[in-house]
Amino acid sequence: MNKISGIAASAGIAVARAFILEHPDYTITKTAVQDAEAEVAKLNDALAKSKAELQVIKERTLAELGEKKAEIFESHLLILDDPELINPVADKIREESVNADYALNEVAGQFIEMFENMKSAYLQERAADMRDVTKRVLNHLLGIHYVSPAEISEEVIVIALDLTPSDTAQLNRKFVKGFTTNIGGRTSHSAIMARSLEIPAVVGTKDILSRVKSGDLIIVDGLNGDVLINPSEAEVAEYTKMQEAYDLQIAEWKKLRDEPTVSADGKHVELAANIGTPNDVNGVIENGGEGVGLYRTEFLYMGRDKLPSEEIQYNAYRTVIENMKGKPVVVRTLDIGGDKELPYLDLPKEMNPFLGFRAIRLCLDRQDIFRTQLRALLRASAHGDLRIMFPMIATLGEFRAARDLLLEEKEKLRGEGHEVSDSIQLGIMVEIPSTAVLADQFAKEVDFFSIGTNDLIQYTMAADRMNERVSYLYQPYNPAILRLIKIVIDAAHAEGKWTGMCGEMAGDSTAIPLLLGLGLDEFSMSATSILPARSQISKLSAADMKELAAKALQMGTAEEVAALVHSINA
């Protein structure tokens, strides 16, 4: 059997050769060397090989992706020629009689730290370049053969055990036609990022990695969740046809880009996008997003070796807010933990990370980290319609404590002469059942709710969102979930507040009729889901969907609810 089923994580179909992605181990130990000159020679050799490699990559990038992208590699070459970096490494080897990899890692580490603390965003970005270049030289010193996802330069399907969000962020859409992994679910963060990059993906295949060799021909069917290994010519033809039909459908949806989102009977709702990095804003605009409903700021903290400074954060938030040109931007404060780790915080491993020390729990404990983020956000608020929300709120006490820290920092900033907006809406994610049940009390104190169904479902059903063995319990249409959603929306409306949803359920075509009927005000989803959702809502009557939702709330199972929704299309 050449077909493996997994979870359809990002729509579209791709056909290309397999590229197996595995992560090298960069553990570096300090060792005393006898012959320092031999070690310096090793360093020079690694530098020369890295330069030759970069030259090739630069030329290929120039030919295939243009000047702008090739400049990155030109700047890497300049770093390798910079005596201010190279001489201190050689000096360290000679003076301390240590190994070249250790000396390079130490010296480069100091430069990275220095760049990260610079005021200008341009210089801060140089830290990432320095980190990349260092790894490249280390590959030669440590004998590691590694092609980073950013360097892939022919059309491939990436095959991996799992992809970290930072791997996913590096994938180049031009060459990476699709990806598939052993583990993960539709709401794992690599799947969420694949959707924002518009790369077809199938995750949770359990064993794809052991069944595929580098170079095998692969079809990724991100519409149905299938992967074909070495398909026949007839299969390739069949899937190519499916891809063409899907492309035509996308072209139809694109016509709705600048239209408002209105139901057939005239009810207006807002369709916003979930983003992970400032670059994602382009996709939001291209796909007709009416705002950003969730900016997951944790990606700013990942893929680096220490916390981002206030300046780094301010620049990122400001960029998003300015590029959204007055449209609302809901920024979520740091939600680290669960499947998003920060190795440099050195937190102890937990038995149940999704139930552990994550998000607001960590921020209220590590106030230094939280206050820095709040300051950056408050400063960025002067540039547009910023809304702030706290993740994983389980009690009113947590909300009040977080809000008080925000107010303290606001006062301090004003005292220091910074401009801070007076009209920042402050809300919470509702993703823990205790908060959904008590929504009437929260609604008196917050400006809005955003329902995080990715977590709300896992906590209500007690089913880990990353564990494909219990994925059958991941039931967005279960009436228990719908009742919780209704409690939240009704509680907000009773206080004249609005409710959004930023979990993946908001973009799910089976859930949309129900959510419209339950009175959801804002739907925030992967940018690529916005236009299909706008098209779907334009064909639905909100009044009819209210009746449909009322029926669904009285049902016993998710299957009955799904059948009810599908009957309206029959």
Indicate if 363 belongs to the active site: no
The Cα 501–Cα 188 span in angstroms is 17
Torsion of CA 74, 75, 79, 84, to 10 degrees: 130
- Placement of tokens 């809304």 in the chain: 387
- Angle at 403 (CA atoms; ends 399, 405), nearest 5 degrees: 125
Asked if 432 touches ligand PEP (CB under 6 A), the answer is no
| Tokens found for residue 139 | 């590959």
Q: What's the CA gap between 512 and 523, in Å, rounded?
A: 9
The smaller minimum CB distance to Mg ion, of residues 277 and 450, is found at: 450
Q: Which stretch binds ligand PEP (CB under 6 A): 230-238, 448-456, 532-540, 551-559?
A: 448-456
The listed partner (ligand PEP, Mg ion, none) that binds 296, CB under 5 to 8 Å by sort, is: ligand PEP
Which residue type occupies 63? A
Partner in contact with 324, chosen from Mg ion, ligand PEP, none, beta carbon below 5 to 8 Å by kind: none
Consult the annotation and say whether 454 binds a ligand: yes
Which tokens belong to 309? 């400074």
CB 399, min distance to ligand PEP, A:
17
Q: Does 400 show up as a binding residue in the annotation?
A: no
455 binds ligand PEP (CB under 6 A): yes
| 52, 283, 507 from 452: Cα distances, Å | 48, 22, 12
C-beta of 290 vs 431, nearer to Mg ion: 431
Q: Which token pair is 295?
A: 């900016």
Kindly give, in sequence order, each residue whose CB lies less than 8 Å from that of residue 212, ignoring residues fewer than 6 positions away. 18, 20, 159, 218, 229
Please name the residues in contact with 385: beta carbons below 8 A apart, sequence gap of 6 or more. Answer: 291, 321, 324, 326, 327, 328, 329
Pick 33 or 393: Cβ nearer ligand PEP: 393
**Chain-centre distance for alpha carbon 292:** 14
Q: Does 502 participate in catalysis according to the annotation?
A: yes
Strand ranges for 100-235 from DSSP E: 156-160, 176-181, 201-203, 217-221, 226-229
Among 6, 12, 178, 452, binds ligand PEP (CB under 6 A): 452
User: Please, which of residues 531-550 interact with Mg ion by CB under 5 A?
Assistant: none
CB of 550 to ligand PEP, least distance (A): 25
CA distance 508 to 499: 17
Token readout for 153 is 């330069």
Cβ(339)–Cβ(298) under 8 Å? no
Q: Does the protein bind Mg ion through residue 427 (CB under 5 A)?
A: no
Q: Is 296 annotated as a binding residue?
A: yes
Q: How many chain residues bind Mg ion (CB under 5 A)?
A: 3
Please list every residue from 175 through 214 that binds ligand PEP, using CB under 6 A. Answer: 187
Contacts of ligand PEP in 307-336 (CB under 6 A): 335
- Among positions 99, 333, 453, 529, the unique one binding ligand PEP when judged by CB under 6 A: 453
Any known ligand binding at 398? no
From the candidates 189, 383, 493, 566, which is the catalytic residue? Answer: 189
DSSP per residue, 294-363: EEETHHHHSSSSSPPPHHHHHHHHHHHHHHTTTS-EEEEPP--BTTB--GGG-PPP-S-GGGSS-THHHH
**Nearest residue to Mg ion, by Cβ distance, number only:** 455
298 near Mg ion, judged by CB under 5 A = no
Q: Residue 78 carries which side chain, given as an amino acid letter?
A: L
Distance, in Å, from the CA atom of 280 to the CA atom of 295, rounded to the nearest integer, reads 10
Helices (H), 473-526: 479-494, 511-518
DSSP annotation of 5 = E
Minimum distance from residue 453 beta carbon to ligand PEP (Å): 5
Q: Should residue 433 be labelled a site residue for ligand PEP when binding is judged by CB under 6 A?
A: no
Choices 17-25, 49-57, 453-461, 560-568; region in contact with ligand PEP by CB under 6 A: 453-461
Of 164, 190, 297, 454, the one binding ligand PEP (CB under 6 A) is 454
Per CB under 5 A, 452 contacts Mg ion: yes
Q: Which of 6, 308, 503, 532 binds ligand PEP (CB under 6 A)?
A: 503
Q: Does 293 bind ligand PEP (CB under 6 A)?
A: no
332 annotated as ligand-binding: yes
Comparing CB distances to ligand PEP, the nearer of 7 and 127 is: 7
User: Could you tell me if 306 and 369 are in contact, meaning their C-beta atoms sit under 8 angstroms apart?
Assistant: no
Are 212 and 20 within 8 A, CB to CB?
yes
Instruction: Please say whether the beta carbons of 134 and 111 come within 8 A.
Output: no
**Rounded Cα distance, 378 and 427, in Å:** 15
CB neighbourhood size of 496 (10 A): 7
> Which does residue 289 touch among ligand PEP, Mg ion, none (CB within 5 to 8 A, set by kind)?
none
Among 296, 318, 410, 534, binds ligand PEP (CB under 6 A): 296
| Residue 431 in the binding site for ligand PEP (CB under 6 A) | yes
Residues 76, 363, 383, 502: which is the catalytic one? 502
Amino acid found at 427: G
DSSP 3-state of 66: coil
User: 126 labelled as ligand-binding?
Assistant: no
Kindly state the smallest distance separating residue 202's Cβ from Mg ion, in Å: 23
Q: Which is nearer to ligand PEP, 413 or 437 (CB)?
A: 437
- Name which of ligand PEP, Mg ion, none residue 507 binds, using a CB cut-off of 5 to 8 Å depending on partner kind: none
Q: In this chain, which of 290, 398, 455, 468 binds Mg ion, going by CB under 5 A?
A: 455
The residues annotated as belonging to the active site are: 189, 502
Q: Which residues are annotated as a binding site for phosphoenolpyruvate?
A: 296, 332, 454-455, 465
Which residues in this chain contact ligand PEP in the complex, by CB under 6 A?
Answer: 187, 294, 296, 335, 431, 452-455, 502-503
In the complex, which residues of this chain contact Mg ion (CB under 5 A)? 431, 452, 455
Binding residue ranges for Mg(2+): 431, 455
Binding-site annotation, residues: 296, 332, 431, 454-455, 465
